[in-house]
């Protein structure tokens, strides 16, 4: 691929991926808050709760897909022996992808448990546990990158 074309693709994917974080974070906070209220107030697990876990999963899987494409065009991802010695290259090549993949799996599990489990309180509890760990991982991941959680920091 021509350099200019590749660069344009990188910029497009980068901004999409950067912006999608807000959707994922917002949905995570809403799901966590709703499931916490659900556990504490022993509320039924309603259709709306199920829909929210579905939207969270769709947003996260879209983020995953964009992230995978971005991975192969980003100048911060390098497959070289020296990568592990450079904290920035190591973060984007190994750590970011690994941390975020675990978070994606947890969000997927949160969704699938609501399908399989019975008992409203158990569903709220499982969603609360999986999504809370996912949120912590995502926040730690972004903090480690030094790019800023809410306001992107440019080098």
Site residues, ligand HEM (CB under 6 A): 14, 17-18, 21, 24, 60, 63-64, 67-68, 70-71, 74, 76-77, 92, 96-97, 100-101, 103-104, 138, 142, 145, 147, 152
* Shortest reach from residue 44's CB to ligand HEM, in Å: 29
* Shortest reach from residue 121's CB to ligand HEM, in Å: 27
Closest CA to 140 of 84, 107, 98: 98
Task: Say how many Å lie between the first and final Cα of the chain, rounded.
Answer: 26
Nearer to ligand HEM (CB atom), residue 39 or residue 103: 103
Nearer to ligand HEM (CB atom), residue 104 or residue 110: 104
* Shortest reach from residue 75's CB to ligand HEM, in Å: 6
Nearer to ligand HEM (CB atom), residue 8 or residue 42: 8
Q: How far apart are CA 87 and CA 16, in angstroms?
A: 24
* Shortest reach from residue 153's CB to ligand HEM, in Å: 7
Nearer to ligand HEM (CB atom), residue 55 or residue 71: 71
Closest CA to 35 of 154, 134, 150: 134
CA distances from 92 to 19, 34, 96, 133 (A): 17, 33, 5, 21
For residue 143, what are its two tokens?
């903090």
CB-CB contact of 69 with 16 (8 Å): no
The H or E element containing residue 155 is none
* Shortest reach from residue 33's CB to ligand HEM, in Å: 18
Nearer to ligand HEM (CB atom), residue 24 or residue 127: 24
CB-CB contact of 97 with 67 (8 Å): yes
């Amino acid at each position: 691929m021509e350099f200019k074309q590749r660069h344009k693709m990188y910029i497009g994917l980068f901004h999409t991926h950067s912006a999608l974080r807000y959707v994922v974070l917002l949905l995570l906070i809403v799901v966590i808050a709703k499931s916490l209220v659900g556990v504490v107030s022993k509320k039924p697990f309603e259709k709306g709760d199920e829909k929210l876990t579905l939207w969270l999963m769709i947003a996260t899987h879209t983020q995953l897909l964009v992230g995978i494409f971005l991975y192969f065009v980003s100048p911060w991802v390098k497959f070289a022996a020296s990568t592990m010695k450079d904290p920035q290259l190591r973060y984007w090549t190994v750590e970011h992808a690994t941390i975020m993949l675990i978070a994606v799996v947890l969000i997927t599990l949160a969704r699938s448990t609501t399908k399989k489990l019975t008992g409203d309180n158990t569903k709220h509890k499982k969603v609360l546990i999986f999504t809370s760990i996912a949120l912590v991982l995502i926040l730690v991941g972004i903090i480690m990158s030094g790019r800023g959680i809410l306001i992107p920091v440019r080098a």
